[in-house]
Structure 1
């Protein structure tokens, strides 16, 4: 029998593969965008998101193990999944549509979904809620960065 953590990690990985729905022409557009001067950690962003997604998957596994198969647990698993899909959609949607507003909107939706999920999870497991903190901290940073990029690149809004 495969553990719930393994299943959740596999689903997380498969959804994360959606970030590869970008094409070289999409990347060319983004290369020319001006970025905030304080954005010195850009090379670390993939690692930061890997940590956030891994912590989210472990959080989901903890919640699953608390009440496996119940309707409430399935609904929470759906919320985790929607949060990941919105987050993964950020890069392909922003690049494909060449719109930083789309990125800001998706980022904002992700922030709200992440905060709500954390509030739902907290009474079930403080540990699972704490594991959502990397997402809760990082997601607003990415959203604010994208918003600032609109100011620096008004034609890319």
Structure 2
């Protein structure tokens, strides 16, 4: 039980890092042309908090089912690392570099790797994969939204 709690907390904390490392330049963000249907910043933050909990729960379930994360195949680790790093880099590209094109490409990588990660998780334990479905949906939406930001601010 302690191991599961630690894995959950560590995974959740790791996904939160970019929010602290790459602060939003609010005046720059507010000045961007955005679609009318862009969610409010607070809503986006709340959604990510929930998604990070779903990711952490999924990884915790996978750990228990596999008898330890070290027992997972390298392919799982590769896609998890690609997803994690691209997730973290989005904030860097969008908010530190203010490069909406790279942010959009990165966001697409997050969405695609989330789909692959979900398939891996479903094959390990169905509920672990189901927990990642909202992540797939949100990152797909976020990719489209990011593309809209890019195209509206050329």
TM-score, scaled relative to structure 1: 0.84
After superposition, the Cα gap between the structure-2 partners of 1:23 and 1:111, relative to the gap in structure 1 and judged at 3 Å, is closer
Q: Secondary structure at the match of 2:124?
A: coil
- Residue 135 (structure 1) aligns with: 135
**C-alpha separation between the residues in 2 aligned to 1:97 and 1:75?**
31
Aligned-partner Cα distance in 2 for 1:62–1:73: 16
TM-aligned CA distance change 1:149 to 1:22, over 3 Å: same
Q: Superposition RMSD on alpha carbons, in Å? A: 2.2
Gaps of 5+ in 1: none
Distance 2:39 2:14 in 1: 29
Q: Secondary structure at the match of 1:123?
A: helix
Gap regions ≥5 residues in structure 2: none
The Cα offsets for residues 61-86 of structure 1, whole Å up to 9 and x where unpaired, read as 11110112343267535643442332
Point out 4+ residue stretches in structure 1 off by more than 6 angstroms: none
Task: Say how many residue pairs are matched.
Answer: 153
Q: Does 1:103 align with 2:103?
A: yes
For residues 82 and 2 of structure 1, the distance between their equivalents in structure 2, rounded to whole angstroms, comes to 27
